[in-house]
Amino acid sequence: MATQTQPMSQGGCAASGRDHAPIIVPLLNPIVRRLMRVGVPLGPNALLSVRGRKTGQLRTTPIAVVEIGGRRWVQSPYGEVNWVRNLRASGEGILTMGRRQEPVTAVSLTPEQTAAFFQDVLGPYIRRIPLGTLLIGMLGAREILTDPVGAAKRHPVFELHPRVADVEATDTSAV
């Protein structure tokens, strides 16, 4: 299950003290969700569905999944936004890639682990992608490349694992 941390106000909305995505993101997310639901591939993006911490309703958000060496991570370029708070509260979700759905558990990285992830995994990954550095800058998260330790305080990262109960159920039904 994901660990709990205090919400961060760095870079957030002054009135609420919460982080938020740029205004264009809520406008584009419904379009991106629809495209992805019908199977249109959009790079490393997937849909993450998580139960709302207050309503219990399933909330679906497009996110970028970093997959390297059989391990998968998601990070928030906009800080402690709603999908992050929901994932922290539930510790699990459903990852949809194309037409394939996979139940996952999420483990929140500590700030030290996050800084190492930014420096050793995400930074080199972004630099290999054509226009990756430009894109991360447009997302407002250039500090991931320039100041991994500082960025770790403002950009949560979760490692995703297949949900154990679902994997065991699949394994026993195959016998």
Give the per-residue pLDDT at 169.
Answer: 52
| Tens digit of each residue's pLDDT (9 = 90 or more) over 153-163 | 999 999 999 99
Q: Are strands 45-51 and 58-68 parallel, antiparallel or unpaired?
A: antiparallel
Q: Are 65 and 72 in contact (CB under 8 A)?
A: yes
In the chain, the percentage of residues whose pLDDT exceeds 90 is 56
pLDDT in tens, 50-73: 999 999 999 999 999 999 999 999
**Is 60 exceeded by the pLDDT of residue 11?**
no
**Of 33, 37, 113, 42, residue with least CA distance to 73:** 113
List alpha helices for the chain, DSSP H: 24-37, 82-90, 111-117, 123-128, 132-138, 143-146, 148-152, 164-173
CB 106, CB 2: distance < 8 Å: yes
Contacts of residue 161, Cβ cutoff 8 Å, sequence gap at least 6: 104, 105, 106, 107
In this model, does residue 7 exceed pLDDT 60? no
Q: State the CB neighbour count (10 A cutoff) for residue 94.
A: 17
| pLDDT of 4 above 70 | no
Instruction: Indicate if the pLDDT at residue 17 is higher than 60.
Output: no
Per the model's pLDDT, the better-predicted residue between 170 and 76 turns out to be 76
Determine if the pTM surpasses 0.85. Answer: no
The pLDDT of residue 5: 33
